[in-house]
Amino acid sequence: MSQSNPLPLIARAPVIPVVVIERLEDAVPLARALVEGGLPLIEVTLRTPVALRAMSVIAAEVEGAIVGAGTVTDRSQIEAVVEAGATYIVTPGTTPALAQALAEAPVPVLPGCATASEAMALDALGFKVLKFFPAEPSGGAPFLKGLAGPLPALRFCPTGGIGPSNAPDYLALPNVVAVGGSWVVPGDAIKAGNFDKVRELSAAAAKLPRAAKFD
């Protein structure tokens, strides 16, 4: 397995913004607002036609931004996102074929899981930091708390249904490295060009305490 450990990267901030970029011209000011607010990891999801180009311009033009690719579901996307400048990869779930491809990826990866069996299967393949998705519908913070006993070596980045009201519940768990969320990048603010709002929400999110230790 050639994958590198994603833990030092994911530990950089308590929240990873999950971003859907509809207009390429929003990419740079949005990323700058996030970085200035204290959230340097930016997961650009592959849900729009401009996603790859958005990663490229953020990587090239926004100092301090750590660009990742989200919604990676197929082996063929791995090379494309790395070429676009992604420094980490996030998947919503992980098929056996995708897991094999991720094991060979040249950047850190966060493979997705939603059950104990899926987490165990990824653990057996050497993946120790996993995305838990969709977090709230799949059991939420109580589920991850329950996994800490039987699967103590695993760390998680839960995403899906997480906002400012419940993010602290997840970050209070010792097996949660960070949470992913879109509440810091509200679509109406982006559409209106209100990046001050993004900066304000990011600054609040960056101050959230977490129980996990990384040494």
> What is the span of the domain harbouring residue 144?
7-206
Identify whether 1 is part of a domain: no
Rounded Cα–Cα distance for residues 118 and 122 (Å):
6
78 vs 99: CA distance, rounded Å: 12
- Evaluate whether residue 2 is within a structural domain: no
Q: Is 211 domain-assigned?
A: no
- 3 pLDDT tier (thresholds 50, 70, 90): low
Please tell me the distance from the alpha carbon of residue 91 to that of residue 140, in angstroms, as a whole number.
Answer: 18
Which residues are known catalytic residues?
Answer: 43, 131
What is the percent of the chain where pLDDT is above 70? 98
The pLDDT of residue 2 is: 42
pTM: 0.96
| pLDDT for position 4 | 75
How many structural domains comprise the chain?
1
User: Average pLDDT, whole number, for the chain?
Assistant: 96
> Does 105 reside within a domain?
yes
The pLDDT-based confidence of 111 (bands split at 50, 70, 90) is: very high
Give the chain's end-to-end CA distance (angstroms, integer).
Answer: 23
Is residue 214 domain-resident? no
Q: Does residue 213 sit within a domain?
A: no
Q: How far apart are CA 197 and CA 193, in angstroms?
A: 9
Q: Does the pLDDT value for residue 193 go beyond 80?
A: yes
Query: Quick check: is 25 in a domain?
Result: yes
Any idea what DSSP says for residue 63?
A: T
Residue 214, pLDDT score: 77
Residue 215 lies inside a defined structural domain of this protein? no
Report the CATH number at residue 127.
3.20.20.70
What per-residue confidence (pLDDT) applies to 1? 42
- The mean pLDDT of 69-91, rounded to a whole number, is 97
